[in-house]
A and B are shown apart, each in its own frame.
Chain A
Amino acid sequence: MTRMIILIAMFLAPLHARAYPQFIGHGYPSCMNCHYNPMGNGPLTDYGRAVGADGIASGALYPKSWSEEKVASLSGFLFRTPVQKHVRVQANYRGMEMISSVGTPSERWSWIHMQAGGQLILKFLENDRLTFVGEIGYNPNSSSARATGQDKRKLRTREHYVGYRIKPEVGVYAGLMDKAYGIRVAEHIAYSRILPELTQNDQTHGVMVHGLLDGWEGALHGFVGNLLQPRDLRQVGASAQIERQIFNDHRLGFSLMSSKNDYVKMLSYSLHSRLSLSDGSALLIEAGQTEKISLGSRGDRIGRYALLQTYTRPIRGLYFFTNIEYLKSDLSNDATTVRWGPGIQYFPVQKLELRTDLYQTRTFNPNASTQDGWTILFQTNVWL
């Protein structure tokens, strides 16, 4: 029972990672351009930080005399240009004001410390072929963990791995990482991440092989679960994600993942596409299904999800987006949920992201009509 509560708590904590696959709209189809992890998320490379400073963040608040080179030169840790090439240190904080059950008697406002962590990157050999990436951070308590007395104030690592590029096109990565599957959108509460269990604390120890070849990019990931978890909860299995560059600028991909622990066996598969519509505009589309076969007393279940995430950039630094999500958590049930979430993401200066999300959740059930649910999030993300 305790383990189930922990699992549920991990499910519900509304944390976000730093992965922005929509930047395909800026001409970056591969996450490897900006992240040490070739599948995205986690610490940014020096180039990625410079892109964040020059290409993503607004330049409106900088002195007019500053050139793009000057701005980029401030993108290093603590606004300094690195003086050596082997060690990089990064730190970040994400916090969020969440207003849940908006407009109802149970409306609730709460500030949530989503992430406060530091990252250490060691890199060696020509073109940084050998990298070590380690991340450790404050593990905030989810509201459900607090409610159930699971007050586990401790540090947590969500990522630590060694990577070696055998050649520019092929790399091997071993350690704790996110599973290679689907589009790694920033929203951990996206149905496309909840259903296949790819949320903020679902990283796994394993070995991943990543490759790039003639318009193809993909990863094969064998994993043994998070070794810091109890053995019976660890999901052991493998996943694969492959993408093909189509019509020059776009990506079309497929993912497959199979895993099991002592309680449940899971099979997930999805099709996805990332479409670049220039000048920061992009569409992210994913549709998938997860089959969960209970190895205990609970019943089997097949769930289906779809995601359409849209982006436009009216001016540099400012993005309007919409998360449109579909969920049928159990195909044997008639009820479906559609969540519609318009929002604004603003990078006023480098190393600072302000974001507002509005989530409207509507359930379609032939047997009952219910009021829409509303949630508003105001997020702040700072990285040094």
Chain B
Amino acid sequence: MKWGALFTLMTLQYLLGGTSAFGGESLNEAIKSFNKGHSIETAKIKKAVNQGGELQGSEFSKDYKELLYSIYAGYASRLENAQKMDSAFIRDTPLFEFFKKALEKLEYREDEVDATSDRIRIHLVQLEEKRYRIKWRTSVHYLSWQSQASLIGPFETTNLLSTNLGVCPGIGASLENRYWSLSLDLNGLYGSGGVSAVQGIVEYQQSQVPAIGGRLAVGGGRIVSSSGSELGLRASALYVRQTLSRPSDTQYSIEQNKTLSFTASIFSRWRFNRFYIETDFGRTIARPSTLWSLGFGAIL
């Protein structure tokens, strides 16, 4: 935004009484005086700040410099009281910066200006950290899980166990700020596993049984480091189709788990700029199965 437009906006604010909510009447009066009562000095200030020129503090009266300081302090107060980066905050920030630069050039109340600026800078960082953003990402996970089945014979039932490893490419989105994240991920799944009997007298064994499906996960996490390391909880729905071969003996049949299962897990994520590594470890609800995954991803 051009400085001219900013000052028009500032004047408009004054005319509409928009500054009273934060700065009070003193800021309104100061802006009025700045724009109308000291036109020559104000023109010099605008030129120096906008075009990068020098200013001699001795050329300006103490009253005028005090006026600039009161406007600066007024905007500082408004920014400091802001709880979020709303449109008023975005509008006030360059005006605050303008008066800060003017006072720096005039070398007026330097210590107080520096201290206020530091406070505002910290507050800006804090507001920025609280601001939620949507981030899209893509990832691939190496996922392992176990599933159970039963081999039902004429006289006995044999428990079968399948241990699987699969690859899950997918996309996801998260709503996150510096401290918290809420995410939704959708991944396809392609894998395979070995199946064998774990209990019973009947032998059954199959290798590399294909498994295809998908995973939908919702998670919430706490971001615990400035680099974005994250620790959180996740709930997933895992859909897997894996068909075990039926024995040639027609007296035997196979009863498999349902294709849809639900998992609760703990996840962690470590970021390297746009890229991240993620681990996930959880239990399938109502089934004796543990799921873990190691993922690699990138923020889009």
Q: What is the CB-to-nearest-CB distance from B143 to chain A, in angstroms, rounded to a whole number?
A: 12
* Per-residue contact bits, chain B 224-250, to A (CB 8 Å; 1 contact, 0 not): 111111110000000000000000000
| Interface flag for B139 (CB, 8 Å) | no
Q: What is the CB-to-nearest-CB distance from A341 to chain B, in angstroms, rounded to a whole number?
A: 9
Within 8 A of B (CB), among A297-345: 308, 310, 312-314, 320, 322, 324, 338, 340, 342
| Interface flag for B23 (CB, 8 Å) | no
Within 8 A of B (CB), among A358-373: 360, 362-372
Taking CB atoms, residues of chain A closer than 8 Å to B207 are: 366-367
* Per-residue contact bits, chain A 346-384, to B (CB 8 Å; 1 contact, 0 not): 000000000000001011111111111000000000000
Evaluate contact between B224 and A281: CB separation under 8 angstroms. Answer: yes
Evaluate contact between B161 and A342: CB separation under 8 angstroms. Answer: no
Q: What is the CB-to-nearest-CB distance from A353 to chain B, in angstroms, rounded to a whole number?
A: 20
Evaluate contact between B194 and A312: CB separation under 8 angstroms. Answer: no
| Interface flag for A97 (CB, 8 Å) | no
| Interface flag for B33 (CB, 8 Å) | no
In the bound assembly, the distance between CA atoms of A278 and B271 in angstroms comes to 11
With A366-B194, A370-B198: A278-B227 Cβ-Cβ less than 8 Å:
yes
* Per-residue contact bits, chain B 142-154, to A (CB 8 Å; 1 contact, 0 not): 0010100000000
Taking CB atoms, residues of chain A closer than 8 Å to B195 are: 369
In the bound assembly, the distance between CA atoms of A173 and B268 in angstroms comes to 39
Evaluate contact between A277 and B194: CB separation under 8 angstroms. Answer: no
| Interface flag for A279 (CB, 8 Å) | yes
With A279-B227, A365-B194: A324-B271 Cβ-Cβ less than 8 Å:
no
Evaluate contact between A314 and B161: CB separation under 8 angstroms. Answer: no
Evaluate contact between B294 and A308: CB separation under 8 angstroms. Answer: yes
Q: What is the CB-to-nearest-CB distance from B287 to chain A, in angstroms, rounded to a whole number?
A: 13
Give the contacting residue for A324; candidates B225, B227, B294; CB below 8 A.
B294
Taking CB atoms, residues of chain A closer than 8 Å to B229 are: 277-279, 281, 312
| Interface flag for B157 (CB, 8 Å) | no
Evaluate contact between A338 and B279: CB separation under 8 angstroms. Answer: no
Total number of A residues with any Cβ neighbor in B under 8 Å:
30
Give the contacting residue for A312; candidates B163, B196, B230; CB below 8 A.
B230
Evaluate contact between A342 and B266: CB separation under 8 angstroms. Answer: yes
| Interface flag for B222 (CB, 8 Å) | yes
In the bound assembly, the distance between CA atoms of A340 and B143 in angstroms comes to 12
In the bound assembly, the distance between CA atoms of A342 and B265 in angstroms comes to 11
Total number of B residues with any Cβ neighbor in A under 8 Å:
35
Give the contacting residue for A370; candidates B161, B231, B268; CB below 8 A.
B161
Q: What is the CB-to-nearest-CB distance from B276 to chain A, in angstroms, rounded to a whole number?
A: 10
| Interface flag for A283 (CB, 8 Å) | yes
With A281-B270, A365-B194: A370-B227 Cβ-Cβ less than 8 Å:
no
Evaluate contact between A369 and B290: CB separation under 8 angstroms. Answer: no
| Interface flag for A140 (CB, 8 Å) | no
Q: What is the CB-to-nearest-CB distance from A31 to chain B, in angstroms, rounded to a whole number?
A: 22
Q: What is the CB-to-nearest-CB distance from A374 to chain B, in angstroms, rounded to a whole number?
A: 9
Which of chain A's residues has its CB closest to B279's CB?
A322
With A322-B281, A366-B208: A340-B292 Cβ-Cβ less than 8 Å:
yes
Secondary structure at the B interface, as helix, strand, loop or mixed, is: strand
Query: Which of A283, A308, A310, A369: most chain B CB closer than 10 A?
Result: A369
Give the contacting residue for A283; candidates B146, B162, B277, B290; CB below 8 A.
B277
In the bound assembly, the distance between CA atoms of A275 and B292 in angstroms comes to 22
Evaluate contact between B268 and A322: CB separation under 8 angstroms. Answer: yes
Q: What is the CB-to-nearest-CB distance from B279 to chain A, in angstroms, rounded to a whole number?
A: 5
With A313-B224, A322-B279: A369-B266 Cβ-Cβ less than 8 Å:
no
Taking CB atoms, residues of chain B closer than 8 Å to A281 are: 224-225, 227, 229, 270
* Per-residue contact bits, chain B 178-218, to A (CB 8 Å; 1 contact, 0 not): 00000000000000011110100000010110000000000
Taking CB atoms, residues of chain B closer than 8 Å to A283 are: 270, 277
Evaluate contact between B163 and A362: CB separation under 8 angstroms. Answer: yes
Evaluate contact between A362 and B144: CB separation under 8 angstroms. Answer: yes
Evaluate contact between B227 and A277: CB separation under 8 angstroms. Answer: yes
Taking CB atoms, residues of chain A closer than 8 Å to B292 are: 340, 360
Q: What is the CB-to-nearest-CB distance from B51 to chain A, in angstroms, rounded to a whole number?
A: 38
A residues neighboring B (CB under 8 Å): 275, 277-281, 283, 308, 310, 312-314, 320, 322, 324, 338, 340, 342, 360, 362-372
B residues neighboring A (CB under 8 Å): 144, 146, 160-163, 165, 193-196, 198, 205, 207-208, 222, 224-231, 266, 268, 270-272, 277, 279, 281, 290, 292, 294
Since A278-B229, A360-B290 are in contact, a sample of 13 more A-B pairs with Cβ atoms closer than 8 Å, ordered by chain A residue number, is A277-B227, A278-B227, A279-B224, A279-B229, A312-B229, A338-B144, A362-B163, A364-B163, A368-B196, A369-B161, A369-B195, A371-B161, A371-B198
> Could you list some 14 contacts between A and B, CB below 8 A?
A275-B272, A278-B225, A281-B270, A283-B270, A313-B224, A314-B231, A324-B279, A342-B266, A360-B292, A362-B163, A364-B165, A366-B194, A369-B161, A372-B146
